[in-house]
Amino acid sequence: MFPPPRGASANELTLLEFDPDEFSAVDVVPEKQRERGRRPGRAWVLLTVCAAWLSGMGGAFVGTYLANRRDDPPHRPSSLGVVVAPPRDQEYGPIDVASVNAVVGASVVAIQRVIADGPLQGESFGTGVIITTDGEILTNAHVVADAKTVNVRLAGETEPRLGAVVARDAANDLALIRVDAVGLTAATFAAVGSVRIGDEVVAIGYALDLDGDPSVTRGIVSALDRTLNTDGGALNGMVQTDAAISSGNSGGPLVNAAGEVLGINTAVATSSSDTAANNVGFAISVERLLAEIDRLRSSSDGAPLVEGYLGVSLDQRHDGGSGALVTGVETGSPADMAGLKTDDVVTAVDGEIINGPSDLVATIRNVAPGTTIKLTVVRDRDRKELDATLVERAKT
């Protein structure tokens, strides 16, 4: 269905978009019933004609109504700000799943994308979360893929609305969609730095595109600051959870006991031939989400997303330590100008710990070119601080 991310040595990672062609189904056809009765008289025929006319008028009205709701949506981001909760000043108690769902459920939407491959056509499903009252929706980039428009079904509605893909960042696996609507219920984001290991959480999404409302599952925050390698790029700062998430959950919210979004569900670890995985899911953290929303909005007019560039080759450490091992430095690059050398180990950027090469790549990518960063480096067991001014990564 979807290729697993690169470099998943300990287990396999699966993005959570749902393709129904990967699953089997049984069609249930009701038994045809025999019709009995007398031939209707003239009066009944007249009533039937009137009813048919009224029905036709009603159908035309409904059709026009639905067509209007599928008018071309705005192809620009919202100008409204997103709602962020105040800093957390107390411990959350046991989570009340029903209450949490009541708070955030109206902000969760189903997303359907048509897949065309020559004469063949299929569809895939994912989830999104409303972030502004005027129809801006956040989801995973792999849910929308390269589509210009997708179908969006809001909570409590039966008919889909047309959604325009306003911006997409494959490297960070996030995208913005916009539907033509006002007065929607926007989700509230958790305050940056408020997420703690052990917090109870709820994952909400249209798992497996099951009929009806989205699936709701409960778990805890198992770990913070995980880094994953995907085909789109490295994702860092991920929240790990044991809440059950499945294909179709991609783009749906991971929320805390107050109903605040602390992450966007993106991937799940699955067993491979030599490893086992059980309830290991990952969500893009609120710290990344808030920064990325601004970046996506800035690129919605067609301007490409710019990325920072350091100019190093990297590898994992093989001595059991953490950090990114430098295996090569490009001549004339920001790394070279800063004095970085082969066999240096980068352990932090601006005081933020770097856990491995993918973490460093993702961190540098999301820093604006022209920014000077402080690299914490271990060289021959000595710790050094180096300043590097990033340039723009060349487009490939």
Sign of CA dihedral 99, 225, 168, 121: negative
Task: Report which of residues 170 and 2 the model is more confident about.
Answer: 170
Residue 21 lies inside a defined structural domain of this protein = no
Q: For residue 3, what pLDDT is reported?
A: 42
The arithmetic mean of pLDDT across residues 345-353, rounded, is 93
Give the ranges where 111-256 is alpha helix by DSSP (H). 141-144
The arithmetic mean of pLDDT across residues 324-336, rounded, is 93
The arithmetic mean of pLDDT across residues 294-319, rounded, is 84
The arithmetic mean of pLDDT across residues 100-121, rounded, is 90
Beta bridge partners of 391: 309
The set of residues, in sequence order, having a beta carbon less than 8 Å from that of 264 and lying 6+ positions away, is 129, 138, 139, 140, 174, 251, 252, 253, 254, 283, 284, 289
> 14 pLDDT band (50/70/90 cuts)?
low
Q: Which domain holds residue 152?
A: 83-179
- Residues 163, 92 within the same domain: yes
Residue 331 has pLDDT above 90, yes or no: yes
What's 248's domain CATH number? 2.40.10.10
> 210 pLDDT band (50/70/90 cuts)?
confident
Is-catalytic flag, 199?
no
Q: For residue 209, what pLDDT is reported?
A: 82
- Which listed residue (78, 107, 124, 142) is catalytic? 142
Return the structure tokens found at 334.
Answer: 């920001």
* Pairwise CA distance, residues 111 & 96, whole Å: 27
Return the structure tokens found at 7.
Answer: 């470099």
Residue 244 has pLDDT above 60, yes or no: yes
Residue 69 has pLDDT above 60, yes or no: no
Q: For residue 20, what pLDDT is reported?
A: 56
Mean pLDDT across the chain? 82
Residue 396 has pLDDT above 80, yes or no: no
Give the number of other Cβ atoms within 10 Å of residue 295's Cβ.
17
> 231 pLDDT band (50/70/90 cuts)?
confident
Q: One-letter amino acid identity for 326?
A: V
- The angle at the Cα of 184, spanning 99 to 159, to the nearest 5 degrees, equals 95
- Residues 137, 206 within the same domain: no
Q: One-letter amino acid identity for 16?
A: L
> 121 pLDDT band (50/70/90 cuts)?
confident
Q: Domain boundary at 114, 148, 179, which?
A: 179
pLDDT in tens, 24-45: 333 232 323 333 344 444 443 3
The arithmetic mean of pLDDT across residues 228-234, rounded, is 79
| Burial of residue 113 (number of CB atoms within 10 Å: 0-12, 13-18, 19+) | buried
Count of the separate structural domains present in the chain: 3
* Pairwise CA distance, residues 329 & 352, whole Å: 22
- Residues 278, 210 within the same domain: yes
- Residues 349, 272 within the same domain: no
Residues present in the chain in total: 396
Give the number of other Cβ atoms within 10 Å of residue 341's Cβ.
15
Q: One-letter amino acid identity for 135?
A: G
- Residues 243, 265 within the same domain: yes
- Residues 202, 265 within the same domain: yes
* Pairwise CA distance, residues 128 & 257, whole Å: 20
Q: Domain boundary at 179, 201, 233, which?
A: 179
- Residues 196, 173 within the same domain: no
Q: For residue 92, what pLDDT is reported?
A: 82
What's 316's domain CATH number? 2.30.42.10
pLDDT in tens, 213-223: 899 999 999 99
- Residues 94, 170 within the same domain: yes
Residue 160 lies inside a defined structural domain of this protein = yes
- Residues 148, 215 within the same domain: no
- Which listed residue (78, 107, 169, 173) is catalytic? 173
Q: For residue 16, what pLDDT is reported?
A: 65
The set of residues, in sequence order, having a beta carbon less than 8 Å from that of 181 and lying 6+ positions away, is 134, 135, 154, 161
The set of residues, in sequence order, having a beta carbon less than 8 Å from that of 164 and lying 6+ positions away, is 72, 73, 74, 75, 148, 149, 177, 178, 179
Residue 199 lies inside a defined structural domain of this protein = yes
State pTM to two decimals: 0.75
Is-catalytic flag, 134?
no
CA distances in angstroms from 351 to 363, 375, 376, 388, listed in the order given: 12, 8, 8, 14
- Which listed residue (250, 285, 299, 358) is catalytic? 250
Residue 25 lies inside a defined structural domain of this protein = no
The set of residues, in sequence order, having a beta carbon less than 8 Å from that of 322 and lying 6+ positions away, is 347, 353, 354, 355, 356
Q: Which of 23-37, 95-109, 227-241, 271-285 has the lowest mean pLDDT?
A: 23-37
Gyration radius of the chain over CA positions: 25
Is-catalytic flag, 142?
yes
Whether the CB-CB separation of 163 and 178 falls below 8 Å is answered with: yes
